[in-house]
Amino acid sequence: MKKSLFLIATAILLIAAACGQQKTAKEQTILNVFGRLNLATDPYDNLFIWSDGEYYCRPFFFDTRELDSKPRATGDTIYFYGGSLQEGGYGMTVLLANDGKMTITNDDYPFRKGDRVEYRTLGNEALLLITDARTGDVKSVLKKINGNLFDQRIANFYRYILDGKFEHTDGAGETVVFNQKRSAVSGFLSTKETPYTFIKEFGTTPIPVLRFSDDMVFKANRTLIGMELIPILTGQDIDQDYDLEWQIEEDHTRPAITLIKTAAGRSDLPSGFFPLASVQVMTLPELTMYAGVPTLRNLSEMRNEIFARHGYIFKTNEWADYFGTKDWYWPKYGDVTDKLTDIERINIKLIQILEKNN
Q: What is the mean pLDDT of residues 250-268?
A: 91
Domains of the chain: 23-148 (no CATH), 164-263 (no CATH), 275-357 (1.20.58.1690)
- Classify residue 26 as left (phi > 0), alpha (psi -120 to 50) or beta: alpha
Q: Decide if 133 contacts 112 (C-beta within 8 A).
A: yes
Q: What is the pLDDT of residue 324?
A: 96
pLDDT of residue 44: 67
Per-residue pLDDT band at 64 (split at 50, 70, 90): low
Question: What confidence tens digit (pLDDT) does each residue in 96-131 have?
Answer: 999 999 999 987 766 789 999 999 999 899 999 999
pLDDT mean over 191-208: 90
Please enumerate, as own/partner, the contacts of 201-205 that have beta carbons within 8 Å and a separation of 24 or more: 201/86, 201/241, 201/242, 201/243, 201/244, 201/245, 202/85, 202/86, 202/241, 202/243, 202/244, 203/241, 204/85, 204/86, 204/150, 205/84, 205/85, 205/86, 205/150, 205/153
Q: Give yes or no for residue 283 having a pLDDT over 50.
A: yes
Average pLDDT over residues 245-253: 77
Percent of the chain with pLDDT over 90: 63
> Does pLDDT of 74 surpass 60?
yes
Mean pLDDT score, 275-287: 96
Confidence of residue 338 (pLDDT cuts 50, 70, 90): very high
Q: What is the pLDDT of residue 169?
A: 87
DSSP 213: E
* Phi, psi of 32, rounded to the nearest 5 degrees: -65, -40
Query: Is residue 10 packed enough to be buried (19+ CB in 10 Å), middle (13-18) or exposed (0-12)?
Result: exposed
Q: How much of the chain exceeds pLDDT 70, in percent?
A: 87
Instruction: For residue 24, give Cα distances in angstroms to 29, 66, 93, 342.
Output: 9, 26, 22, 26
Q: What was the pLDDT predicted at 9?
A: 47
- pLDDT-based confidence at 222, cuts 50/70/90? very high
Tell me which amino acid residue 4 is. S
Q: Residue 256 pairs with which residues in a beta bridge?
A: none
Is residue 6 predicted with pLDDT exceeding 50? no
pLDDT tens digits, residue range 122-153? 989 999 999 998 999 999 999 999 889 999 99
**How much is the pLDDT for 214?**
81
> How many residues does the structure list for the chain?
358
Q: Are 78 and 96 in contact (CB under 8 A)?
A: yes
Q: What are 9-62's pLDDT values in tens digits? A: 454 444 444 444 698 999 999 999 999 998 887 656 788 999 999 999 999 887
215-254 in b/e burial notation, b at 16+ Cβ within 10 A? eebbbbebbeebbbbbbbeeeeebeebbeeeeebeebeee
DSSP letter string, 239-261: TSPPS-GGGPPB-TTS--EEEEE
Farthest CA pair distance, the chain: 96
Asked whether the predicted pLDDT for residue 280 surpasses 90, the reply is yes
This prediction has a pTM of 0.88
Beta strands per DSSP E along 28-164: 49-51, 56-62, 77-83, 88-96, 102-104, 116-122, 125-131, 138-145
**Amino acid 46: pLDDT:** 80
Does residue 316 surpass a pLDDT of 80? Answer: yes
Predicted pLDDT of residue 2: 47
